[in-house]
Chains A and B, each alone.
Chain A
Amino acid sequence: GAVVSQHPSRVICKSGTSVKIECRSLDFQATTMFWYRQFPKQSLMLMATSNEGSKATYEQGVEKDKFLINHASLTLSTLTVTSAHPEDSSFYICSAKAGGRGETQYFGPGTRLLVL
């Protein structure tokens, strides 16, 4: 149980285009989903927290107009990188937490974004 999927696993795009990454909880309802960014050999950096049906809460320094997050249902959250630039190239990982007292975050497999 507690499986989280991400799609796509890899994406290459041209500078200036937008890219959407999907995060799905496959066997549980996720009231809260998180989006992280990870640079090579570094820890996970939380970008934003999203709760189903409400606006995402962004961490300090994360541009909310550049990284659009939508949590439209209890099993799906999307991250859209708008007008991507090479410096947005990174490994993006989502996690999901079940409702109630569940504190455990279950992570997706990650999406490798390369902006040319």
Chain B
Amino acid sequence: QQQVKQSPQSLIVQKGGISIINCAYENTAFDYFPWYQQFPGKGPALLIAIRPDVSEKKEGRFTISFNKSAKQFSLHIMDSQPGDSATYFCAASTGTYKYIFGTGTRLKVLA
């Protein structure tokens, strides 16, 4: 019940396209869902986060869509750029503050 399932494992998108990464969870106690971007040899950097009381949150080219009933959330990267090529991790947490991370998605945006 503590797992967060992330898909796809890897993704190749043309420049200017939309990248979509999906995550699903079981534990309905989760109340905070952040997305992190990680470049090789670097620590993860927070991209955007959402709580279950909203269905969508947008920050620049990054949008989180949240479906509480389906227990799923997804990251959409609009107008994908080669500089977006990185590994993306979703996570979920409860009031205990410990994150449960997804397995990661390696995104490659072709120029």
Residue numbers in A under 8 Å from B106 (CB-CB):
41
Total CB contacts across the A-B interface at under 8 A:
51
Tell me, rounded to whole Å, the shortest Cβ–Cβ distance linking A39 to chain B. Answer: 11
Q: Establish whether residues A104 and B42, one from each chain, have CB atoms under 8 Å apart when the complex forms.
A: no
User: Given A103-B97, A107-B36, are A43 and B43 neighbors across the interface (CB < 8 Å)?
Assistant: no
B25 contacts the other chain (CB 8 A) = no
Whether a CB of chain A sits under 8 angstroms from the CB of B89 is yes
Instruction: Give, as a whole number of angstroms, the nearest-CB distance from B50 to chain A.
Output: 11
Give residues in A with beta carbon < 8 Å to B. Answer: 4, 6, 32, 34, 41-44, 46, 49, 91, 93, 95, 97, 103-110, 112
Contact, CB under 8 Å: A105 / B42: no
Please report the C-alpha to C-alpha distance between residue A104 and residue B50 in the assembled complex, in whole angstroms: 11
A107 and B45 within 8 A (CB)? yes
Q: How many residues of B contact A (CB 8 A)?
A: 20
CB pair B42–A46 under 8 Å, yes or no, is no
The interface residues of chain A, by DSSP majority, are classed as strand
Q: Which of B41-92 contact A (CB under 8 A)?
A: 41-46, 49, 89
- Measured in the bound complex, the distance between the Cα atoms of B44 and A46 in whole Å is 14
Q: Are B45 and A104 in contact (CB under 8 A)?
A: no
> Cβ of B101 and Cβ of A44 under 8 Å apart?
yes
How far, in Å, is A4 (CB) from chain B's closest CB? 8
Q: Which residues of the other chain, B, contact A93 by a CB distance below 8 angstroms?
A: 43-44
Contact at B101–A103, with CB atoms within 8 Å? no
Alpha-carbon distance A105/B49, docked complex (angstroms): 11
What are 8 A-B pairs with beta-carbon distances under 8 A?
A32-B97, A43-B104, A49-B98, A91-B41, A93-B43, A103-B32, A105-B46, A109-B43
Return the chain B residue nearest A94 by Cβ: B43
Nearest CB in chain B to that of A4: its residue: B43
Which residues from 2 to 45 on chain B have a C-beta closer than 8 Å to any C-beta of chain A? 32, 34, 36, 41-45
